Amino acid sequence: MKHSKLTQSVHAGSHGDPTFKGVVTPLYPSSAYDYEGQAILYPRYYNTPNMKAASVKVAALEHGEAGLMFSSGMSAILTGLLTFLKAGDHVIFQSDLYGGTYYSVTTELPRLGITYSMVDATDPQNFAKAIKPETKIIYIETPSNPTLKITDIKAVASIAKAKGILTMIDNTFASPVNQNPIDLGIDMVAHSGTKYIGGHSDLGCGFLVTTNALMEKIHSKAINWGGSSDANTAWLVERSLKTIVLRVRQQNANALALARFLKSDARIGNVFYPGLEDHPNHAIAKVQMPGGFGGMLSFEVKGDALAFTNKLKLIKRALSLGGVESTICSPLKTSHSKMSAAERAAIGVADNLLRFSVGIEETEDLMADIKQAL
Ligand SMILES: *Cc1c(COP(=O)(O)O)cnc(C)c1O
């Protein structure tokens, strides 16, 4: 019997303690294991017990056959991409990518003789138009950073499938609780485990989830390239994942309430949140995010946005996202600081835009903090 997500978050991949019969997966820090009578276990083989437990749990939550845990989200993303790319190949990315991914692929791919196109993902036909004979991968990210645009996952997956092109998605913002792209036809799902999967702003890791057949290829490359995580982080992640459904449900509820609240205040400009009825792709978001619209939103403060962030008391000013504590950041000062003003304007990142990672605090307390800062 297939259990619900809430039950899987607690039990999938976890196993007890055969020596003392404890109820949680013990921490196995060994880097050396007997090779007789079992597969060779070794940290860089990505197969020690705690890495396995965390990977199986993420794969179950993502409705995928196989999962692999990496030392960072970028390690997962680049390993997934480069496993299937070689010189002469072409990739299509959606243009508003997470900053780290943008800098990574625009720096590393040309050096390897791999070309790419960047397309506006709000119309799936833009992907179809950008396909070349040498296109090997289509890569999307939805909701996008930092303006929460929505890409129609199913439409993009079917365009790619018709041409035999692999699809990859960065599902970090949605979390496996809200959106399961494999159900919509996507081949590979990447996560920065540093965000909602870790959930407490105290660790870094990444995950890939895909089919057994694709994972076999990814795993063999991953062993060559390194980038594996470690037992301590894996053990902590498996523990964190037991509450991911509860955490994200509260974050969904808080973010929706705060988006509506911000929208009603005359001192706030645009509010970007896929759960708002007037978001341009709200209807698509509703279908492809059955668990909820996520804990990320962004908004423009009329006047001095930086002065506003300085006055917040409960909501912390910080980069990164997905923690139980609410954090806010200015893309101008952080993720998008290396872009020119024209580049920022082209992707709709105004200087007074703030990106809000909503935590699990009481909704009214967060509203009160925003009110006093305004
Ligand atoms: C943080 C993040 C990444 C990169 O993950 P790291 O763990 O920092 O390597 C990739 N995509 C998104 C959407 C992120 O938020």
Residues 199, 77 share a domain:
yes
Active site residue 187: no
* 169 Cβ inside 6 Å of ligand 1: no
Residues 89, 225 share a domain:
yes
Out of 5, 33, 44, 221, pick the active-site residue: 44
Residues 59, 159 share a domain:
yes
Predicted model pTM: 0.97
- Full domain range(s) for residue 369: 244-373
How many whole angstroms separate alpha carbon 353 and alpha carbon 302?
Answer: 9
Active site residue 161: no
pLDDT tens readout for residues 9-29: 999 999 999 999 999 999 999
For tokens 């749990």, what's the residue?
Answer: 57
The number of distinct structural domains making up the chain is 2
* 170 Cβ inside 6 Å of ligand 1: yes
Domain end marker among 225, 241, 257: 241
Residues 121, 25 share a domain:
yes
Residues 116, 223 share a domain:
yes
Active site residue 202: no
Residues 273, 178 share a domain:
no
Q: Which atom of ligand 1 is nearest to the CA of 77?
A: 10
Residues 335, 200 share a domain:
no
Residues 322, 278 share a domain:
yes
Mutation pick for ligand 1 pocket among 140, 195, 196, 228 (CB with most ligand atoms within 8 Å): 195
Q: Which atom of ligand 1 is nearest to the CA of 206?
A: 7
Residues 220, 96 share a domain:
yes
Residues 361, 319 share a domain:
yes
Helix (H, G, I), strand (E, B) or coil at 118: strand
Mutation pick for ligand 1 pocket among 140, 173, 194 (CB with most ligand atoms within 8 Å): 194
Domain end marker among 214, 241, 268: 241
Strand positions, DSSP E, the chain: 66-70, 90-94, 115-119, 135-141, 166-170, 188-192, 206-210, 268-272, 296-301, 316-317, 327-329, 353-357
Closest Cα to atom 5, ligand 1: which residue?
A: 73
Residues 258, 227 share a domain:
no
pLDDT tens readout for residues 87-98: 999 999 999 899
CATH of the domain at 251: 3.90.1150.10
The pairing of beta strand 268-272 with beta strand 353-357:
unpaired
* 195 Cβ inside 6 Å of ligand 1: yes
CATH of the domain at 111: 3.40.640.10
Residues 40, 111 share a domain:
yes
Domain end marker among 241, 259, 288: 241
Q: Which atom of ligand 1 is nearest to the CA of 173?
A: 13
Residue 189 phi/psi, 5-degree rounding, is -115, 125
Residue 328 phi/psi, 5-degree rounding, is -135, 145
Intervals of the chain under pLDDT 70: 1
